[in-house]
Amino acid sequence: MPKLLRSIVLLSPLILTGCGSGAVPEVPGPSASLQADSPVFRDRLIRELARHPHQAPTDTFEMPEIMGSGCSMADLNADGRLDLLVVPGAVSASDAAAGGALLRVLLQQSDGGFADVSVEAALRVRGFGMGCYAADIDNDGDADVLTTSAAGTALFRSEAAADKLQFHDITDSAGLTSSRWSTAAAFVDYDGDGWLDLFVVHYVDYFSGSVCADAAGRRDYCGPQAFSGTADALYHNLGGQGQPGVFENVTVSAGLAAAIGKGLGTICTDLNGDRLPDLYVANDMEPNRLWIQGPLGHFTDEGSLRGCAVDLQGRPQASMGTALADLDHDGLEDLFLTHLRGETNTWYRQLGAGVFLDDTVRSGLAEPSRNDTGFGVAARDLDLDGRMDLVVVNGRVMRAPLLTSPAAGSHWQEYAERRRIFQGSADGRFRPLAANEEFLQQSQVSRGMAAGDIDNDGDIDLLTTSIAAPAQLWENIAPRRGHWLTLRVLDTPRRRDAPGARVVVHTGRNRRTGSVLPHTSYLSGHDPRIHFGLGDSSGYDAIDVYWPDEREGLERFSGGAADRIVELRRGEGRRLKDSELSGGQVQP
Amino acid sequence: MSESGRSREPAVTTTSTHGAHTSSAARSARVRSSLFATLFLAAAISAVIVGRRTALDRSAVPAFAEAGMDRVVRELLSDLRAKVEQRPREADSWGQYGLCLLQHERPRESLACFRRAHTLDPDNPRWPWFSAMILEQTDLAAAADELELALRLAPDALHVQLKLAGTRLSLGDPDAAEELLSTVSLDSAAAAECVLQRARAARLRNAPQDSLKILKQAQQNGTGLSAELFEEAAVAAMQSGQLDLAKSLQHEARQQPPLQPLPDPWLPGLRAYDVSGGADSAAADQLRAQGRLAEAATRLAALARRFPDRSRPALNLALALRDQGQPQRAAEALRELADRFPQDPLVRFHLAVTEVQLGRVDAAMAELTTCLQLKPDYGMARAALADLLATAGQLPEAVTEAERAVTDAPGDIWIHFGLIRLLLATGQADRVRQQLELAAALPAAAGQQERAELEELRRQVAAAAAQGGVE
């Protein structure tokens, strides 16, 4: 049985199709009384994660070590349960002899526990580990895996057989041989041919062994200013030419060699409303790029024009993590980027099709972030009150003393910072949560973060990584303040999720917008499903899906009850042309 | 004083032995004695108070964590701290120590110094100005308060006025920023920065048309124009839905000079405290760029002696020697450096280039091979290897290396040119044309030298086609 179908069968008690009928799963309803100081997350203390802490030496001061490594939540064996992937750091001599360090792969079991299948999966990272990303590159219903590292990318094709997880390293045969320091990556069907292409973000042109010191002469990690930038790479999947999973490097012909940068994050989706996927790159201490796709697959950088390259004062910032979400609930998705201490995390509010304004100050997000160095980020409704919240994990990159820093007891403690949760509110502003809980009190050199509903109970859990520490799985235990809806957007003919698909959920007069964008945050991969907190709405009227390979029209799925996971299968909804839409209101 | 008091007591005792006169004298002696005792007590108390105050001043001078600090920095900071201890009532001592702490990333201690300097010298605008420089990293509102104070103390200081306006803008208060900017004369050196800030304030107010008006006005007046202003206006045009205007303004921005920020007249000499070598290194680079090679070499030699654990100063020194026309000496220096830093690909690359200059192709090839083992994505080194392979007649291998060099450094037009030449030499007409198109589309193709090279390559393609060398 194909994996996609198998997953549907296995999930049948919980997953409903877009027709909106069936049983509501057994999940807690809205909480009547919410304690203001209730913790949001608790550490699940996963033994299999604790056994393999991230490896980073303390005496070599190689730059990749301070950039850390990411993680992903993805359903690798198509059993309907999210699994965990955690990127290792340093490659030991014995690992190097074996082809690289093992990516930790933890398969979720039916009882919610995890089985470590890293050795069996044999996903190896060639250099100091950066990110990992799961997607189906050959439309066979299996999740394939890409890893990025300081020594290049590696692509693994899933060859599952008899319920055994197996991957084969196809990097060279896929045409992805490269030793460039790769960081973020995203799978996106940029040319609409039905096959997922690959965009790989590159960081600096790094020279290992470079010595850097702080202003007082103390040895420290080099910063991006010590090296020149590099061009990012776009690889076209040749599946349409009968070679699925073989890629052609089209960087130069697509116009992407026109500018170099020092990229760490990306967002690959249509950002100017013309229904053609665009590529946004978050650069470290250089202007961000917004590569707008024009005709014939040619991209032009319009980041500066569109107000999302630099901050309001015209200064490039040290951009690291990325998120795309409708933070102010106006139907337009906004960009949110994490940055260095002394800068703010930045909210580029979308004013209209593809035009942005740095509106961080008005959102209340500026001052609370000025003292942090933000990396992983997720914009999700954590308490289901219908308003978007933000989670940011932090950790410094320089160890010079701060205006307000406690004395550090160890090498990595000098770089450690606390995580932050910014709670969205009705007035469109965000407030930092000051709850006395472990998630916020723990001080670590945090880097990666993946968000997803690990236990399919309707709220957002987190997987976080920190340098020289074990990854942690955080279960959402916040009191619920409303209803929820989780959408899996399936491009059924291609037997895979549909990265780049945009969804609008209609509830009464409200419209909530979200996109299938697993490959955002920092070096991490979120749950590919879209999660909405619905507040008081116990149901929805309709869901519109804008498929990423269509240039007009949408597919409308009928309404249903909230508090469930719904699969939106392409072709099972009602096709609507642009001319049939009337002011966004759903016509029954 | 106590010593002299004690010495008088025996004399009183002596006079007390003489009758009535003795009692009056004794009274007077008692008065004197009690007066002396009072004075003694007062003196003792004031000595304690003064001593305490001095001790308080000493303990209030911030110490700094020395761990891992460069010896020169440590000594410099210790000297300046000692000066503060010697002259605790002197604001400048505190200020100098604060600046040095600031330069060496000790913001907490630095801020304490500037605050003390302000207490001692409350009319000097520099101290709140320096405090603001530290506070703006973490607390913009507090920084704005310090800037307000500095501006009150120095109402004509344009750099403070602009900084405060920018800070108000960053705090989301465009009206306050506008109020500050409205008083800046457009005849002043601050005109360009002022006009730019006003345009930004308008955009933050969601009034992009005002931004465009500000640009128009600046164009009419011929003052306050800068590349950044055109960029800002382009964004404003986008915001108001005028895509074509936005693109044309962005194009115009590329023709304009970049904004020259108003210098900070209060911040001289911070560079003098730089011991990281960064400032010296930049100065040496500048000298090299100006062709003052001997001076550059002297500076670089000093840097190399100062930082024996770093390869870059000695590498730059060797390159300066090469630039001076001494490739033999440069090669010797580079070889010695390669022995000391065997894992440094940059040293290997430059050694290879120098070996080529000396005609030692085999040695160069060996160095490039080592270099690429250390850094396989080194596009420039791979392109150089491709050149050498082609020279040695190994054309297919050369093409393979050149193709990979383009993959590693796709934005480097000269690496594209190298590949085109090799494709031309191997008669691959289709690919030559395709690569020419790709190279011509790179922004670097607009450069004068690059345009000439492209033309030359096109001419060669045409000539080869005419001769049947390229189909």
| pLDDT 10s digits, A395-441 | 999 987 777 666 677 899 999 999 999 999 887 799 999 878 999 99
**What sign does the dihedral B300-B301-B302-B303 (CA atoms) show?**
positive
pLDDT at A506: 97
Length of chain B equals 471
Q: Which percentage of chain B shows pLDDT scores above 70?
A: 85
The shortest C-alpha distance from B9 to chain A (Å) reads 59
Nearest to A554 by CA among A517, A503, A495: A503
Q: Rounded CA gap, B463 and A284, in Å?
A: 46
Q: Does residue A236 have a pLDDT over 90?
A: yes
Residues 356-375 in A contacting B (C-alpha not used; CB under 8 Å): 357, 361-362, 366-367, 370-371
Q: Which of B137, B380, B431 is most worth mutating to test chain A (most A CB atoms within 10 A of its CB)?
A: B137
On chain B, the residues whose CB falls within 8 A of the CB of A312 are 169-170, 200, 203-204
Task: For chain B, say whether A352 makes contact (Cβ under 8 Å).
Answer: yes
* Burial status of residue A290 (CB atoms within 10 A of its CB: 0-12, 13-18, 19 or more): buried
pLDDT digits (tens, 9 = 90+) for B262-297: 888 887 656 666 777 777 888 888 898 888 988 999
The shortest C-alpha distance from A251 to chain B (Å) reads 8
Residues 176-195 in A contacting B (C-alpha not used; CB under 8 Å): 178-181
Question: What ranges in B61-181 are assigned the alpha helix state H?
Answer: 71-86, 91-103, 107-120, 126-135, 140-153, 158-170, 174-181
On chain B, the residues whose CB falls within 8 A of the CB of A313 are 166, 169-170, 200
**Are the C-beta atoms of residues A317 and B249 closer than 8 Å to each other?**
no
ipTM for the predicted complex comes to 0.86
* Burial status of residue A43 (CB atoms within 10 A of its CB: 0-12, 13-18, 19 or more): middle
**Are the C-beta atoms of residues B193 and B225 closer than 8 Å to each other?**
no
Task: For chain A, say whether B309 makes contact (Cβ under 8 Å).
Answer: yes
CB proximity list for B246: less than 8 A, separation 6 or greater? A305, B234, B235, B237, B238
Which strands make up the sheet holding A374-380, listed edge to edge? A374-380, A389-394, A420-424, A430-432
pLDDT digits (tens, 9 = 90+) for A479-519: 999 999 999 999 999 999 999 999 999 999 999 999 999 99
Token pair for residue A239? 């599946």
**Are the C-beta atoms of residues A315 and A323 closer than 8 Å to each other?**
no
Cross-strand partners of A261: A230
pTM to 2 decimal places? 0.89
Nearest to A464 by CA among A479, A478, A456, A454: A454
Mean pLDDT value across residues A551-576: 97
pLDDT at B26: 52
Nearest to A463 by CA among A396, A403, A391: A391
pLDDT digits (tens, 9 = 90+) for A110-166: 999 999 999 999 999 989 999 999 999 999 999 999 999 999 999 999 987 767 889
Q: Does residue B19 have a pLDDT over 70?
A: no
pLDDT digits (tens, 9 = 90+) for A512-529: 999 999 999 999 999 999
Question: DSSP letters along B458-471, please?
Answer: HHHHHHHHHTTS--
On chain A, the residues whose CB falls within 8 A of the CB of B105 are 214-216, 400-401
**Are the C-beta atoms of residues A16 and A565 closer than 8 Å to each other?**
yes
Cβ–Cβ below 8 Å for B107 and A401:
yes
Task: For chain A, say whether B120 makes contact (Cβ under 8 Å).
Answer: no
Nearest to A342 by CA among A361, A369, A370, A367: A370
Q: Which single residue is written with the structure tokens 């900084």? A: B163
Mean pLDDT value across residues B171-196: 93
Token pair for residue A89? 């750091």
Q: Does residue B50 have a pLDDT over 80?
A: no
Q: Cα–Cα distances in Å, from B119 out to B108, B127, B140, B235?
A: 17, 9, 22, 45
